[in-house]
A and B are shown apart, each in its own frame.
Chain A
Amino acid sequence: MSELRDGPEFTGAELETRLAETWRDKPGLIGWITTVDHKRVGRRYIATAFVFLLLGGVLALLMRLQLARPESGLIGPDRYNQIFSMHGTTMMFLFAVPVMEAMAVYLVPLMLGTRNIAFPRLNAFSYWIYLFGGIFLWVAFLMNIGPEAGWFSYVPLSGPEYSPGKRTDVWAQMITFTEVAALAGAVELIATILKQRAPGMSLNRLPLYVWAILVTSFMIVFAMPAIMLASSFLISDRLVGTQFYNPTEGGDALLWQHLFWFFGHPEVYIIFIPAVGFVSQITETFSRREVFGYPLMVLALVSIGLLAFGLWVHHMFATGLPRVGYSFYTAASMMIALPGGVQIFCWIATIWSGKPRWDTPLLWVLAFIVTFVMGGLTGVMVASVPIDLQLHDTYFVVAHFHYVLIGGAVFPLLGAVTYWFPKFTGRFMAESFGKWNVLFAFLAFHLTFFPMHLTGILGMPRRVYSYPHGLGWDTLNLVSSIGAFLFATSVLLFLGNVLISLRRGRAAGANPWDAPTLEWAAASPPAVYNFAHLPVVESRAPLWEEDEFPAVSGLSVEKRELLLTTVIDAMPDVRDISPVPSIWPLIAAVVLTAGFIGSIFTPWAVVWGAIPVGIALTLWFWPKPGVKEDES
């Protein structure tokens, strides 16, 4: 008997039942821990990242509580240093980067019209490693061995002499966890985007969000090795007495900063560029026209991605490198304002020339534009060497990067959650509440962070647990603290809206916003197999321009078959089998976690830890009897 395949003669309920049979997970707990469905993994990835946002937010409030008054005695220096180190580490490594990858893990396969992400087991593994790394860091913090040298861990302060104990080891090893998770995610996304697009979705028809994720994923691949190298050097300086960073033994304290910022600067664009993608999709849908200047937008994304690697030294203007060399980095840093400004123009032009519908997601975009432009312009200021020498490491910089990270990435993220919520859950978030929520968050944000520009100019350095009164900082700090609690309230209201809408939200159909991209062709929430018939696209906005999709036919219904297409033109290429659920990604993550944690105590953990990891990976890839296809 020949294999059952989809096609014009096999459609409807029976096809859907058979597909669901093929693609579903095992029921219950077993299914939960073995799933390789990009939607389930993506959902838990997003949820976990938001838990870390809350934890990081609590730390922020503790700091604002301490800084509300001068010479406050609420929190001692030892605890405070751990708190701000954990705040930065949590927000950057456990919230911002993961949540952006997580959204992509959920959305990209749907936007491309495919049935699962590439390397779905690696995807499950990526989540587990991320989760275990996050738990490891937070348990350590609660045991009073949280990192104490900042999220940037400059040597020699983080070196063996000035940070004895295990605190910095915990930080450095947490980096390893999140590196592995982020790199795995990036590789899957690149492969998915380049090889699993719906037939006809040539690169010039790729939704801008997917372009953003493609650029981001390549940036991850090129940026992360630098920090991996840096943190491995640090661990070995601390654990086995190498001297990479010790100037008295021929090492160099500044080497750390070069490696760290070679990663660290692209890192902020790794957070920001996906947000740019959210903004493009939301603006397009709610302006009811395609984004103005698509080729410009793509060029802008790519050039930001490239330029981001050429300006790390602007974090190091005060270190005393040769002054004339700095000019290059000033120019490169300022140059980013060009693609950035062009993008801003294109979004506003889209709204200007479209027929905007003022639903909540588009309001988040407005909040984003105003806030992000301000953050971008203060960024231009600190790109200038003389100005930076005054403002570097002051609250002005704290204000600047919260404008670009919260205004530039979190506002779009909250807009994106509101926008795709019907897709995730089949329900809307509360709409008019959501609008007030945007306004409240916007005002509270500016109340918190705008005064910090002034505290910085007035001379307040960062990372101080206490400050003297009478220097003109008291009132500004109090205002920031009040604002912080209001802003936290607005985030809680948002999450409350999410939780209530999960159960009580108004039901939404497949395409409730009348959006143009493919994810809205799937059911809300999508079936486990995403699309009963894989769509074929003929334009950049398929749902606006095509009433009836041509569909792919001939894919197996009995096996998890995907269609791979060519890299540039997305012509059908080969059929490929997507792996079935497996427990081995979880087991591999558990044993690798044991190895990572062990290796902060003894280098031998690397040796002995490799054995169970090797066994787990071997069994992960062990060919199943009767299954010929590759199951990587």
Chain B
Amino acid sequence: VNGIQSAADPAGAHAAITSDLFGLFLGVTGLFFLLVLIFLGWAVWRKDRGSQSEQRLRLTVAGWAGLITLGLFVLTIGSYFADRSLAFAGAGQPPVRIQVTAQQWWWQVDYQDAVPSNNFATANEIHIPVGRPVHIELVSDDVIHSLWIPNLAGKQDLIPGRPADLDLLPRRTGHFRAQCAEFCGLQHAHMALDVIVDTPEQYAAWKAKSLQPAPPPQTPEQRRGYAVVTGLQCAACHAITGTPAYGTVGPDLTRVGSRATLAAAELPNARAWLERWIADPQAIKPGNRMPKVPMSSADLHAVSAYLETLQ
């Protein structure tokens, strides 16, 4: 089944191994279900109830127990080997290294490189190149979250005080959706992120662009927006590289205009939604940590105009 957030539509090595294993389980358990239904149907509709042989039943129950044991053995072994192949999928190549920090209710994404000047931050989206292993370090600063990108791999919890990691090996390009899978409070439902599997060229271009500071504002409206963002409360929480805004409480906005979605994949990234979000974040995502910052409608338009340029 196709879907951008579906375990049944694998686009990565890990999800594919699991999907195959699921097929094995479905086949074996389906067979057992069928056997039970046949026996039950026979027991219900049996006509000849005269000759009862307890001895025969005893032999059959022994056979049945043997069959179950065999089935479980097959499934346990299958599961074990699938688990081993998951552990070794993508081994041997140097991975793309990313650190994902989960917070109520958004994802901070830090690309890590051996060369410090090649590190950069983004939020609520992950770009990865197809065919290359990806190693994600997982950190939570507040409660337990779980990163789940069903098309690529199974989920992994992010537990405060316990470092964890998740390996991916994307097999085809595409735009996928990931979501927090561990109940994490009020806006657990709206804690998603975009996962974009690029071609190596697209990825290199995206990465190169991400390493640049934010583009400076051009028009008077954009300049007014810049002034509001860096002058009002916005800058206390958000960072925009190359500007005086370097808060770390909320998502990094350096490339916010280039993202597909807003508010942890809750809203499409379009001007109208951006304005509604800034105008009253609590109306759209009640309980989230972004306060309503009072501003004139002209300021609001200006801020949106400026943020849109951050591509």
Contacts and interface: CB of A to CB of B under 8 A. Distances in A.
A386 B18 contact: yes
A612 B33 CA distance: 57
Contact of B42 (A323, A327, A346, A352): A352
Interface string A457-482: 11101111111100110000000000
Contact of A77 (B43, B159, B287): B287
Interface stretch (A13-21, A95-103, A370-378, A440-448): A370-378
B64 to A, nearest CB: 5
A296 interface: yes
A390 interface: yes
Interface string B146-162: 10101001111101111
A349 interface: yes
A2 interface: no
B64 A345 contact: yes
B78 to A, nearest CB: 8
A344 interface: yes
A110 B15 CA distance: 55
Contacts of A334: 72, 75-76
A338 B72 contact: yes
Contacts of B5: 458-459, 471
B161 to A, nearest CB: 3
A319 B161 CA distance: 12
B7 to A, nearest CB: 4
A369 interface: yes
Contacts of A346: 61
B295 interface: no
B61 A345 contact: yes
Given A77-B186, A458-B6, A253 B162 contact: yes
A76 interface: yes
Contact of A327 (B26, B57, B83, B177): B83
Contacts of B186: 77-78, 81
Contacts of B310: none
B37 A370 contact: yes
Contacts of A342: 61, 64-65, 68
Interface stretch (B44-52, B114-122, B207-215, B225-233): B44-52
Given A384-B25, A393-B181, A457-B7, A162 B142 contact: yes
A352 B42 CA distance: 7
A253 B54 contact: no
A617 interface: no
Nearest to B149: A459
Contacts of B160: 156, 247-248, 253
Interface string A378-392: 101101111111111
Interface stretch (B187-195, B248-256, B297-305): B187-195
Contact of A369 (B7, B30, B36, B79): B36
Contacts of A293: 57-58, 61
A320 interface: yes
Chain A, interface residues (CB within 8 Å), range:
35 or more
A373 B36 contact: yes
B207 to A, nearest CB: 28
B102 interface: no
Contact of B3 (A338, A370, A390, A472): A472
A84 to B, nearest CB: 9
A249 to B, nearest CB: 10
B265 to A, nearest CB: 8
B150 A348 contact: no
Contacts of A135: none
Given A293-B61, A348-B43, A320 B164 contact: yes
Nearest to A161: B142
A233 interface: no
A524 interface: no
Contacts of A388: 154
A337 interface: yes
Given A353-B52, A381-B22, A344 B6 contact: no
B180 interface: yes
A220 interface: no
Contacts of B234: none
Contacts of B104: 162
Contact of A381 (B29, B43, B87): B29
A390 B68 CA distance: 25
Given A352-B39, A393-B182, A156 B144 contact: yes
Interface of B: 1, 3-8, 15, 17-18, 21-22, 25-26, 29-30, 32-33, 36-37, 39-40, 42-44, 46, 49, 52, 54, 57-58, 60-61, 64-65, 68-69, 72, 75-76, 78-80, 82-83, 86-87, 104, 142-144, 146, 148, 150, 153-157, 159-162, 164, 177, 179-190, 266, 286-287
Interface of A: 76-78, 81, 149-150, 154, 156-157, 162, 247-248, 252-254, 292-293, 296, 318-320, 323, 326-327, 330-331, 334-335, 337-338, 341-342, 344-346, 348-349, 351-353, 355-356, 366, 369-370, 373-374, 377-378, 380-381, 383-394, 457-459, 461-468, 471-472
Given A77-B186, A162-B104, A466-B189, 4 more contacts: A156-B143, A323-B83, A338-B68, A369-B40
17 contacts: A154-B182, A157-B183, A254-B162, A320-B164, A327-B83, A341-B65, A345-B39, A369-B40, A377-B30, A386-B18, A389-B155, A393-B148, A457-B1, A458-B7, A459-B6, A459-B179, A471-B6
